[in-house]
Amino acid sequence: MINPEKFCIQKDCTFAAKPLFRLTRYKKFKKNQFFMAELTVIASQVRRDIVRMVHGASSGHPGGSLGCADFLTALYFKIMNHDPAFDMDARGEDVFFLSNGHISPLFYSVLARSGYFDIKELATFRKINSRLQGHPATHEHLPGVRIASGSLGQGMSVALGAALAKKLNGEKNLVFSLHGDGELDEGQIWEALMFAAHHKVDNLISTIDWNGQQIDGPTDKVMNLGNIRQKFEAFGWTTLEMNGNDMDDVVAGLEKAKSLTGLGKPIGIMMHTTMGKGVDFMEGTHEWHGIAPNDEQLAKALAQLPETMGDY
């Protein structure tokens, strides 16, 4: 249960002081009503969801999910203008595409906690006939999912298409996408980078989870990426860096990225994260890229992640 002393850094923060508070409809809380402390409260619950879901299925990807939890929480609860009533076409809304689809536990948790579907459904993760399959797919009809992802490298191309469509429709909304650093090994990403710069797709903000890890080991051992920021710049993108595990920095970085849209260039955020962030024995190693904790490990993990909004 939440300890308000721990989370509530602002005197007038009342959200965290309600121990049994459950977020049922995102709409009640949108329009930038969240303080930074409240975002960390949500992110803690999201991290609990992640480890519980992966444990419940005995499979899944906790490492990248935990590392990107602060980012996706900030995006859905503060940065994006979106509607959990969910319309596939996302007209008049900002839209997010998850390209590194293996971090689906994070995506599903944030969608449910934002009000896209009942948090109880998180218990069906990776089960037969569940809408929450290991990698998101549109034919499962889960609100909030607009593309299948899991086959790495494709999400930026889709995001580009959506961003161009918004321009054609005269919409001012933004398109966001998230990619793993290991995912950058896919050639299609670099085609998309060139295309985006050439066509001045300046309503796109793509974030790279620069955790230095991927499925089989550190990225510099599997295929050295070098300085990806310099590479994005060389491909004609505006770039910035942020600490993806510091909520203040995440929000500031995303706000900065938004301020850089509309200037003729796509925006790339190089986001430094720690794989497995929040669970000490999962941190900083590819070992937790894609395995489930056992009962004992789950208990150890949950002891480090306060239950702040009620478990599903």
Ligand X SMILES: Cc1ncc(C[n+]2csc(CCOP(=O)(O)OP(=O)(O)O)c2C)c(N)n1
Asked if 63 interacts with Mg ion (CB under 5 A), we say: no
Asked if 239 interacts with Mg ion (CB under 5 A), we say: no
Query: What string of DSSP letters covers 117-182?
Result: S-GGGGGGTT-TT-SS-SS--GGG--TT--S---STT-HHHHHHHHHHHHHHTT----EEEEEESG
Q: Would you say how long the chain is, in residues?
A: 312
Q: What is the CA radius of gyration of the chain?
A: 18
Q: How far is the CB of 101 from ligand X (least distance, A)?
A: 8
Among 60, 62, 136, 182, binds ligand X (CB under 6 A): 182
Among 150, 161, 218, 284, binds ligand X (CB under 6 A): 150
Q: How far is the CB of 211 from Mg ion (least distance, A)?
A: 4
Asked if 183 interacts with ligand X (CB under 6 A), we say: yes
**CA-CA distance, 249 to 64, in Å (whole number)?**
19
Q: How is residue 40 annotated by DSSP?
A: H
Site track 68-107 with ligand X (rule: CB under 6 A), x = hit: --------------------------------x-xx----
Interface residues for ligand X in 265-284 (CB under 6 A)?
A: 275
Q: How far is the CB of 201 from Mg ion (least distance, A)?
A: 24
Nearer to ligand X, 171 or 183 (CB): 183
Identify the residue whose tokens are 């002393």.
Answer: 5
- Considering CB distances under 5 to 8 angstroms, the limit depending on partner class, which of ligand X, Mg ion, none binds residue 69? none
CB-based contact 310:281 (threshold 8 Å): no
Query: What string of DSSP letters covers 201-220?
Result: -TTEEEEEEE-SEETTEEHH
By CB under 6 A, which span of 19-27, 174-182, 195-203, 249-257 interacts with ligand X? 174-182
Among 63, 105, 144, 180, binds Mg ion (CB under 5 A): 180
Q: How is residue 183 annotated by DSSP?
A: G
CB-based contact 51:76 (threshold 8 Å): no
User: Under the rule (CB under 6 A), what is the footprint of ligand X?
Assistant: 63-64, 100, 102-103, 150-153, 180-183, 186, 209, 211, 213-215, 275, 289
